Structure formats: structure tokens, C-alpha cells
Structure 1
Amino acid sequence: MKPIAICRHEAIQGPGYLQAFLEKHAIPYRVFAIDAGDTPPRCAAEFSGVVVLGSNAGVNDGLAWIKREEALLKDALRLERPILGHCFGGQLLSKSLGGQVRRNTVPQIGWGKVLVTKFDESRHWMGEKRELDMFHWHFDTFEVPRGAKRTLFGYYCMNKGFALGPHLGLQSHLEVTAQSIRQWCAEDRQVLQQWQGQSSVQSEAQILHHLDEKVAALHQTADHVYEQWLCGISGVLHAHFRQPKRPHGGEGWLEVLKR
């Protein structure tokens, strides 16, 4: 099968657990380290799917690499290559589908509960639990694009996830590891101190409290989400998971949005 393209924008926001998951299942991938000077690919046809990770930049910043990644996602949508967006990646997926991305009412940093909506798509992606403990680090929020379904919502941010067919956008981080969270807190300690006292921003001590147990639970959720996402990729078969239903009439997902 063709490799999965992974776009990384910050060294401390790498593919982490996703990379370990893909290697465990012998799924080929290629990491494009934008922070290290790599250029995002132009054509989605070279890949089985596209993953976009987090970034300190905003999707509306107008940077050249952001425009190039948005073009990549639109090409992936046209070719029906499944897309998985983590945080910034979820925002860019929303924008590529015509959604708006704007400043959230408050920043959200640290561990926080999200609720799973009652749509069939939500159970498909997130499993049977109605509440999940996720890791968050964001200042902006995406709009759920037309035609998509909200999969997750939270107290500090209403739109924590959306799904459209084989594509999933998350306003949280499933890919983090205990090591990457510790490093993130250390490198961005000034950010945590700046927002000290804000109820939506945890302190470093709160983030690291029972960290290994929280990350282990998070990775159980990630296992389910990543398996479901792989079901949408041609050549990857999981007999106990159903592939996302295609739109009626054989048209693509972009055609659904144009109705």
C-alpha cells in the first residue's frame, strides 16, 4: 500500500503514539517535518491517507506551508484519501471543507473531559463511552463544516471533534505520550504561567499528576480511533470494523457538500 503522509510542524508535537501504532500494524508512513524545513507534499495521490498534527501557528496566519497543506487536504478530499487532523490539523480540515476557524472564548490546556454525541458517527469513531478524558492545548476552535457531524464537545469548547465519512477532525491530541507532554510543559512553561488562574488552563503540576495512567487511558481511545480511521484506507482491512458508509449515488464527499 502507499504510505500515509504525516505533516509535523513542531518537534514536540510529533506523531508520537500514532507512529508507534502504525509501526505495530506494519502500516507504511512518511513524516514531513515542516519545522525542520520539509515542504508539504502537493499531491495526495501518492499517499493512502493524510495526517496533520498540531502547530503553534494558526490556520489563518497565511503562511506558505499552511496554504500548501490546505491544498493537499483539498486534493485528498477530491481523491477520497482519508484525512485525520489533530488540533491544528482538525482546524485545517474544517477550513478545507469550508468551515470557519476563530479564537475560542478561552484557551484550553491540559486534561479535560469531553462528551461523545449521540450520532451513529460518534459511536463509530469514539466507541461506546459517553465521556472521555482527552489532552488539550489550543487557543482557536473550528466550526463543524456543513455536512459533517459533531462527534465531541466540551465545557470550554463546544466543537471538539467532527466526522465526515472517512475524515476525522479533532480539537485535541490523541498522539501525545507521557514523554512528549513533559517536554511540552517544560518548553512552554511560560505559557502555563501566563494563564495561571484561568480555569480552562491547568498548571504543570495538574497536567503531570497521574500522567502515566491518564496517557494509558488516552491511548486506549487512540487505538479505537486509529483503527477506525485505517478502515477507510484502501488496502487496510479489519474484519471486525465497518468502513464508513459512502454517500448515496456513488458521489464523493465534496459532492455532498455542494448539495
Structure 2
Amino acid sequence: MIRSRLALAIDMPPVLVLQHLSADGPAYLAHWLRMQGMRFDVRNTEAGDVYPDAVTGYAALAILGGEMSANDPLPSLRQAERLLLQAMDRGVPVIGHCLGGQLMARALGARIVDAPAPEVGWQPLQVLDSPAAAAWLGAPGPRTVFQWHYEAFELPAGAELLAGSAASPHQAFAIGPHLAMQFHVEVDAEKLGRWVHDDGARYCQALLEHATVQGPQEMRAGTARHLAHQQALADRVYRRWLGAWISE
């Protein structure tokens, strides 16, 4: 039986959301949490927010993306790593989106390296044939998901690979109730509408050099075709991540 939204609002601790850049907010994740009646606490370091010292009092931890490297010597990134390790040690479910997934891998001892090829836009993903992959991502086979990354994670010890792509073999891994993704299931139409206007030097160079990097027109067309399907995938992923709180 699914709990009522009122009951959730009353008895569930909030979800902690770590945001690195103002342009990379929770988007569809925030919408989904509201639809479930769940409270959440967004800490945006670019806006001057400070990450908490501990995950005490939080039901779960979500880590968003950002254009910086997970290897950059930023205090906020190291604090995010400390919090996610603490959460995993305490059984607080963690989910990482793109940079967030890279931080999970790095904190667990894996390297963050240049991706075999950058992936920007709506790109193919292959879900592996395993019980863990099925639980998180559904039946094995192809998906189309939104990507924006130039680096990628290697697989940490004890992790189970869930999905990959030709351009980036490690697209998602799970360790028990914790999930790291290289792709952006949290995007919505508003966020995508802002991102397609990126004219930074790194993106423009990658667009010239790699078939795995889409231009603005191609990304907009892909949004019309694929966003609803990806949000259905996000529903599944988020429900699996917070299953202990949204079902009895």
C-alpha cells in the first residue's frame, strides 16, 4: 500500500539535495519529490549555501551535476564525498547524477578520467541483463537518455555495472540501495531549454570533433521525442531509490 502524501509530509525526514551550480538544479527530481509529498532541502554552493556537516536527520541524499571536474580541488566537492560516504555507511540511500555519480565513484576509490568520447544530448544507452539492472532501469536493452559529460567514472570495487554505451562503457552502477549515473534523468523541459544555448569553447570544440555531441536543433528535436520516456525512467529510478519511504 502506498502511503498518503499527507502521512509522508508529516513523518518523513527531508531529502538532502547537493547542488553545485545554479544552472544545474534538481528540475524533474524536485517535481517528483513534490508529487510524492516529500520534503527536500536543496543546498546550492554557487548561491552561497553551505553543505551540512552530516546526513543526520535526512532520509536520503541526492547529488546533482556540474560543469567542473570531480577531480577539481574544491572544498564543496570533498564535502559532498564525505557526506555520501557517511550516508552509505549509515544506510541512507544515495543517488548521483553525472558529476554526482562521478563523485560517488571517486569517493569509493575509482578514477575519474576523460571519457572515450564526450556525450552531449540525447544518446543511446544499453541496459545490461542482470537483476540489479532490471530493478533500477527495467528490462535489458536500449534506452535514449540525456547526457552532458566529458569525463567518466571507472567502476569502484563492489559496484555492479547496470548500463553502458559505446562512447562510455560505465554509465550506471549500483551498490545496494545506492545508484550512480553518468546521465541526467533529472532534466525537464525548462532546464533543457536553457542548456541548449551553451556556447562555451569546450562544447563548441567537441561539437566539431565528435559525432556523440549534438547541436541545439538536434537536442530540441530529441527532447520532443524522448523526454517523456526518460521521465518515466526517472520515476522508476527515484521510486527504487526511495522505496523504503514511499511504500509500506
What's the TM-score, normalizing by structure 1? 0.87
Instruction: Give the match for residue 245 of structure 1.
Output: none
Moved more, 42-51 or 83-92: 42-51
The Cα shift of 1:190 comes to 4.7
Alignment of 1:149-160 (within 5 A): 149-160=160-171
- Pick closer, same or farther for the CA change 1:48–1:188 going to 2, 3 Å: farther
The alignment partner of 1:50 has SS state of: strand
Counterpart CA distance in 1 for 2:224 and 2:24 is 18
Matched residues, number: 236
Task: Give the alignment partner of residue 113 of structure 2, picking from 88, 93, 102.
Answer: 102
The Cα shift of 1:40 comes to 1.2
Moved more, 104-113 or 185-194: 185-194
The alignment partner of 2:13 has SS state of: coil
Does structure 1 conserve the Cα–Cα contact (< 8 Å) formed by 2:70 and 2:112?
yes
Instruction: Give the match for residue 58 of structure 1.
Output: 69
The Cα shift of 1:111 comes to 0.7
Does structure 1 conserve the Cα–Cα contact (< 8 Å) formed by 2:129 and 2:140?
no
Q: Name structure 1 gaps, 5 residues minimum.
A: 240-259
The Cα offsets for residues 20-74 of structure 1, whole Å up to 9 and x where unpaired, read as 0000000111000111011111101221110000011111111111111111111
Does structure 2 conserve the Cα–Cα contact (< 8 Å) formed by 1:14 and 1:53?
yes
The Cα shift of 1:106 comes to 1.9
The alignment partner of 1:146 has SS state of: coil
The alignment partner of 1:12 has SS state of: coil
Alignment of 1:53-92 (within 5 A): 53-92=64-103
Does structure 1 conserve the Cα–Cα contact (< 8 Å) formed by 2:54 and 2:83?
yes
Counterpart CA distance in 2 for 1:190 and 1:75 is 37
Paired letter, 1:12: A
Task: Give the alignment partner of residue 172 of structure 1, picking from 183, 192, 212.
Answer: 183
Counterpart CA distance in 1 for 2:199 and 2:87 is 33
Task: Give the alignment partner of residue 226 of structure 1, picking from 215, 238, 242.
Answer: 238
Does structure 2 conserve the Cα–Cα contact (< 8 Å) formed by 1:51 and 1:83?
yes
Q: Residue 215 in 1 paired to residue 227 in 2? A: yes
Write out the 4+ residue segments of structure 1 that deviate beyond 3 Å after TM superposition: 187-192
Superposed CA RMSD in Å reads 1.4
Counterpart CA distance in 1 for 2:222 and 2:127 is 23
Paired letter, 1:87: C
Counterpart CA distance in 2 for 1:124 and 1:187 is 35
Does structure 2 conserve the Cα–Cα contact (< 8 Å) formed by 1:192 and 1:203?
no
Instruction: Give the match for residue 16 of structure 2.
Output: 5
Q: Residue 195 in 1 paired to residue 206 in 2? A: yes
The alignment partner of 2:56 has SS state of: helix
Counterpart CA distance in 1 for 2:40 and 2:207 is 39
Instruction: Give the match for residue 247 of structure 2.
Output: 238
Counterpart CA distance in 2 for 1:214 and 1:44 is 35
The Cα offsets for residues 134-182 of structure 1, whole Å up to 9 and x where unpaired, read as 0000011111111111001001000000001000000000000122112
Instruction: Give the match for residue 205 of structure 1.
Output: 217
- Pick closer, same or farther for the CA change 1:12–1:188 going to 2, 3 Å: farther
Q: Residue 43 in 1 paired to residue 54 in 2? A: yes
Counterpart CA distance in 2 for 1:77 and 1:211 is 34
Paired letter, 2:79: R
What's the TM-score, normalizing by structure 2? 0.91
Paired letter, 1:214: H
Does structure 1 conserve the Cα–Cα contact (< 8 Å) formed by 2:128 and 2:163?
yes
The Cα shift of 1:193 comes to 2.5
Counterpart CA distance in 1 for 2:58 and 2:239 is 18
Task: Give the alignment partner of residue 22 of structure 1, picking from 24, 33, 51.
Answer: 33
The Cα offsets for residues 74-105 of structure 1, whole Å up to 9 and x where unpaired, read as 11111111000000000011112222111112
Moved more, 113-122 or 190-199: 190-199
Give percent identity, aligned residues only: 29
